[in-house]
Amino acid sequence: MSAQESDPVKLGWMVGSPPPAEKIIRFSDPDYFSFPKLRWTVCHFRQLMPTVGVSRGLGAPVPMERRIDDSIDQVIFTPLGGGRMSWAQSLAVNYTDGIVILHDGVIVYERYFGCLDDIGQHAAMSVTKSLIGLLGEMLVAEGTLDESAKVASIVPELAASAFGDATVRQVLEMTTGLRYSEDYADPDADVWRYGAAGNPLPKPDGYTGPRSYFEYLQTVVKEGEHGTAFGYKTINTDALGWMIARVTGKSVADLLSQRIWSRMGGEQDGYFTVDSIGTPYAGGGFNAGLRDMARIGQLMLDGGMVNGERLVPEAAIARIRAGGDKAAFEKAGYALLKGWSYRGMWWLSHNEHGVFMARGVHGQAIYVDPAARMVIARFASNPVASNAANDPTSLPAYDAVARHLMK
Amino acid sequence: MSAQESDPVKLGWMVGSPPPAEKIIRFSDPDYFSFPKLRWTVCHFRQLMPTVGVSRGLGAPVPMERRIDDSIDQVIFTPLGGGRMSWAQSLAVNYTDGIVILHDGVIVYERYFGCLDDIGQHAAMSVTKSLIGLLGEMLVAEGTLDESAKVASIVPELAASAFGDATVRQVLEMTTGLRYSEDYADPDADVWRYGAAGNPLPKPDGYTGPRSYFEYLQTVVKEGEHGTAFGYKTINTDALGWMIARVTGKSVADLLSQRIWSRMGGEQDGYFTVDSIGTPYAGGGFNAGLRDMARIGQLMLDGGMVNGERLVPEAAIARIRAGGDKAAFEKAGYALLKGWSYRGMWWLSHNEHGVFMARGVHGQAIYVDPAARMVIARFASNPVASNAANDPTSLPAYDAVARHLMK
């Protein structure tokens, strides 16, 4: 089904009082997050699951200036793999739900599709990791978190797990050696056992596994050595979230609100899904409005400053933008990301524009192009749970728009 | 346990990463909403259950002016039943979580206790009914809902139930004749079966009852005649919510946001808890910030105007304030509410100040005193689920403060 055919508004999920039985989506349905239902679910996680708020505070939002440039729709690019496509065409090809482009902090383009509008909220999925990584690097820059410390020295409960003898920095760069498979196509992958542990519903009869994110993390065993190869594993972010909570005494939801979300002049509260003991899902549970995600990109571009106020130490952003170990990253074998690295849970391209990104599994992105002074925030619900399905029609499209804006 | 002894912050519910096992509160715990846990739960329903947001919109809040009058703490009143108490003393006696007093629209008093602060949100419980009643009276005043129409003509699914031959007005005034017991002290009361129907968790094995609010409403049988006696039964509000959804094509959450919550210059989004098919709990599921609840009281006092803009037809507010059938109300036998009536799901005192109220079961209230130009919004978590436990130390206290402000 194309983006148009699978449009959740057109399909009428959860419309009516009550909705027709075949249009109801429940969290307990095995397919609530399968295509095409997932295209509704990405905008409505809070209607399915318990959540914790990330307050924007009580003050007035700081509106972003707008100078819309409709000619962006006609920007032409060459998808990875070849061909020719316009920016406007790409949006449906990769199932975009919303996209906003900032140039020098000014909104030059903004579109919504599917379940999303500018007052709505959307699952950020793994873009969440970059927010948690930013908090982690902030605490490192401030001296609250020692990047050379062993995880076990901060969270003793993890001492016997694979995390125990990893350093904070190895967690931040995901160079830990962990036995953990995140292949969504494999029904036996660890990611599903992790999901069962974090599921906030009462456990089924006979369930004997871990009962929360924290319990799961304690069961992770080592595979290989720490510090040698990049391995993109969500559980690193939840281990980081645990360390952040331990050293600050605040959950990542509260810390994100207090340090960033309530101070950036944003428009909407965000929220995290939580497990059965109220722990926010640091690895992928954040949901927010699109323009507020763009504000995060602008904060990164501006070295931690927002509206003339410093929210994040410049050193924390500089550490991320300096990039991680490219040799370690290369070992992970990302065919479409040659020469990239990963640092502070952000993806660094090391290309001539110094592009870096936050990336979510269904095409969510914060894309920062420092040379072009451009930020793109995108929400999407690509049926394929892999950025390999989004990159061919998004990375070169973003680059083409950057060059268009630099003219 | 006193208010101080049962302070949820002092008791440390859900604090720590993870919280100690004995401090964890789960929605599936049988006592998650029993005292003293309920004093934490009233501020954290979204962490336990799925919810739907009531957006405040994206604009700037309109701050309320402040001229704090600390002498209110020393106002002395006579509790119903006798004695002598200061306003300040009353707040702990009736387990207040937050209270704000407006005089001529200006904040003259504001205090928070327990789980609440000014950036937090609290369960409104049955104060929710008054918001839904206001939407209902608004639709009646606008001609969208015919108050003389039979319920079955609007929601045919209710034709065979007790609601079928009741009029919209009888639902709005709760003079329907329904077999439905709402005695929280009785473990066999219908209210628990209603809760089981609306519970968003998957139904337990062997469960054969209704599986949503709407399914339950269709099972309600008649007891007595419609239109003769007031009977305070939550299911009336959910039947009204169903009619509102049917005639407007919007859920009560969306309608409340679009017509009121996003237009009143409020500070925070609110939210409703939802059942397993996403229906907002119109009878008691709303949660919001305290000052925003006070804004609703001010809207009622000002005849539907907010910040110079008309949000609700004057006729809708006038209909509510005119009051309902006092003889029908008398039959319900409220010892502490002699001479009161119920209209549009608000409680009307018919006293010399023309006081009217929204009332929640653990002491939540919006209290409007037109003669004193005073609005009080209160959130509370009284261990006793009955306003008979709150009225003795709140109704005369509110009246004493009104007289203090009128000096």
* A161 three-class SS: coil
Please tell me the predicted confidence (pLDDT) of residue B143.
98
Q: What is the pTM of this model?
A: 0.97
Contact A17 B242 (CB under 8 A): yes
Residue A163 has pLDDT above 90, yes or no: yes
d(C-alpha A98, C-alpha A88), whole Å: 12
Residue B89 has pLDDT above 90, yes or no: yes
Note the pLDDT tens digit of each residue in A336-368. 999 999 999 999 999 999 999 999 999 999 999
Please tell me the predicted confidence (pLDDT) of residue B235.
98
Residue pair A173/A343 in contact (Cβ under 8 Å)? The answer is yes
Task: Suggest the residue from A13, A14, A15, A17 to mutate for an interface test with chain B (most B CBs closer than 10 A).
Answer: A17
Please tell me the predicted confidence (pLDDT) of residue B388.
87
Residue B245 has pLDDT above 90, yes or no: yes
Note the pLDDT tens digit of each residue in B247-305. 999 999 999 999 999 999 999 999 999 999 999 999 999 999 999 999 999 999 999 99
d(C-alpha B220, C-alpha B235), whole Å: 9
Mean pLDDT taken over chain B: 97
What share of chain A in percent tops pLDDT 70?
100
d(C-alpha B348, C-alpha B337), whole Å: 9
Phi then psi for residue A203, to 5 deg, are -70, 145
Nearest chain A residue to B56 by CA distance is A268
What share of chain A in percent tops pLDDT 90?
97
Mean pLDDT taken over chain A: 97
Nearest chain A residue to B242 by CA distance is A17
The burial class, CB within 10 Å (0-12 / 13-18 / 19+), for A374 is: buried
Please choose, from the candidates B269, B372, B255, the residue with its C-alpha nearest in 3D space to the C-alpha of residue B53. Answer: B269
Please choose, from the candidates B248, B262, B242, the residue with its C-alpha nearest in 3D space to the C-alpha of residue B59. Answer: B262
d(C-alpha A330, C-alpha A245), whole Å: 31
Phi then psi for residue B82, to 5 deg, are 105, 175
Residue pair B165/B150 in contact (Cβ under 8 Å)? The answer is yes
Confidence of residue B239 (pLDDT cuts 50, 70, 90): very high
Note the pLDDT tens digit of each residue in B16-38. 999 999 999 999 999 999 999 99
The burial class, CB within 10 Å (0-12 / 13-18 / 19+), for B362 is: buried
A279 in contact with B at a CB cutoff of 8 Å? Answer: yes
Contact A277 B26 (CB under 8 A): yes
Residue A204 DSSP symbol: P
Neighbours of B159 (CB within 10 A): 14
Please tell me the predicted confidence (pLDDT) of residue A185.
80
Residue pair B104/B98 in contact (Cβ under 8 Å)? The answer is no
A218 in contact with B at a CB cutoff of 8 Å? Answer: no
Of A27, A52, A121, the CB nearest to B47: A52
Strands B309-310, B286-288: pairing is unpaired
d(C-alpha A272, C-alpha A52), whole Å: 5
Please tell me the predicted confidence (pLDDT) of residue A186.
86
Burial call B344-360: b when 16+ CB within 10 Å, e when fewer: bbbbbbeeebebbbbbb
- B383: cis peptide before it, omega within 30°? no
Please tell me the predicted confidence (pLDDT) of residue A184.
79
Task: Suggest the residue from A25, A107, A277 to mutate for an interface test with chain B (most B CBs closer than 10 A).
Answer: A277
Residue pair A304/A313 in contact (Cβ under 8 Å)? The answer is yes
B46 in contact with A at a CB cutoff of 8 Å? Answer: yes
Q: Which residue has the higher pLDDT, B187 or A71?
A: A71
Alpha helices per DSSP H over A63-116: 87-93
* B382 three-class SS: coil
B223 in contact with A at a CB cutoff of 8 Å? Answer: no
* Three-class secondary structure assignment of A20-66: CHHHCCCCCCCCCCCCCCHHHHCCCHHHHCCEEEECCCCCCCCCCCE
Please tell me the predicted confidence (pLDDT) of residue B2.
97
Residue B371 has pLDDT above 90, yes or no: yes
Of A58, A201, A245, the CB nearest to B268: A58
Burial call B96-132: b when 16+ CB within 10 Å, e when fewer: bbbbbbbbebebbbbbbbbbbeebbbbbbbbbbbbbb
The burial class, CB within 10 Å (0-12 / 13-18 / 19+), for A80 is: middle
Note the pLDDT tens digit of each residue in A211-226. 999 999 999 999 999 9
Please choose, from the candidates B335, B216, B290, the residue with its C-alpha nearest in 3D space to the C-alpha of residue B64. Answer: B290
* B256 three-class SS: helix
Strands A341-343, A76-77: pairing is unpaired
Residue pair A101/A109 in contact (Cβ under 8 Å)? The answer is yes
Residue B262 DSSP symbol: T
CA distances from A359 to A131, A223, A377 (A): 11, 25, 10
d(C-alpha A227, C-alpha B360), whole Å: 57
d(C-alpha B367, C-alpha A183), whole Å: 56
Please tell me the predicted confidence (pLDDT) of residue A386.
86
Residue B185 has pLDDT above 90, yes or no: no
CA distances from A215 to A36, A168, A179, A197, B49 (A): 32, 19, 16, 8, 22
Please tell me the predicted confidence (pLDDT) of residue B327.
97
Residue pair B45/B273 in contact (Cβ under 8 Å)? The answer is yes
- Tell me the two tokens of residue A173: 């760069």
d(C-alpha B20, C-alpha B306), whole Å: 46
What share of chain B in percent tops pLDDT 70?
100
Residue A98 DSSP symbol: E
d(C-alpha B293, C-alpha B56), whole Å: 12
Residue pair A385/A184 in contact (Cβ under 8 Å)? The answer is yes
Note the pLDDT tens digit of each residue in A166-199. 999 999 999 999 999 988 788 889 999 999 999 9
Residue B385 has pLDDT above 90, yes or no: no
Residue A36 has pLDDT above 90, yes or no: yes
Residue B184 has pLDDT above 90, yes or no: no
B242 in contact with A at a CB cutoff of 8 Å? Answer: yes
Please tell me the predicted confidence (pLDDT) of residue B182.
87
**Domains and their CATH numbers in chain A:** 1-41 (no CATH), 50-407 (3.40.710.10)
Note the pLDDT tens digit of each residue in A7-25. 999 999 999 999 999 999 9
Q: Chain B contacts of A251, Cβ < 8 Å?
A: 17
Element (H, E) at B272: strand B270-273
Sign of the dihedral through C-alpha A137, A139, A143, A149: negative
Please tell me the predicted confidence (pLDDT) of residue A401.
98
Contact A269 B269 (CB under 8 A): yes
CA distances from A9 to A3, A90, A97, A243, B99 (A): 11, 20, 12, 41, 41
Across B392-398, average pLDDT? 97
Across B70-99, average pLDDT? 97
B254 in contact with A at a CB cutoff of 8 Å? Answer: no
Q: To the nearest whole angstrom, how far is the Cα of A342 from the nearest Cα of chain B? A: 27
d(C-alpha A285, C-alpha A273), whole Å: 5
Q: To the nearest whole angstrom, how far is the Cα of A20 from the nearest Cα of chain B? A: 10
What angle is formed at CA A294 by the lines to CA A246 and CA A395, rounded to 5 degrees?
Answer: 105
Please choose, from the candidates B121, B403, B142, the residue with its C-alpha nearest in 3D space to the C-alpha of residue B285. Answer: B121
Note the pLDDT tens digit of each residue in B98-115. 999 999 999 999 999 999
- Tell me the two tokens of residue A264: 């950036």
Q: To the nearest whole angstrom, how far is the Cα of B47 from the nearest Cα of chain A? A: 5
Across B226-243, average pLDDT? 97
Phi then psi for residue A45, to 5 deg, are -55, -35
Across A76-84, average pLDDT? 97
Please choose, from the candidates A317, A170, A146, A152, the residue with its C-alpha nearest in 3D space to the C-alpha of residue A236. Answer: A170
- B36: cis peptide before it, omega within 30°? yes
Sign of the dihedral through C-alpha A261, A121, A250, A316: negative
d(C-alpha A274, C-alpha A25), whole Å: 19
Residues 6+ apart with CB under 8 A from B29: B37
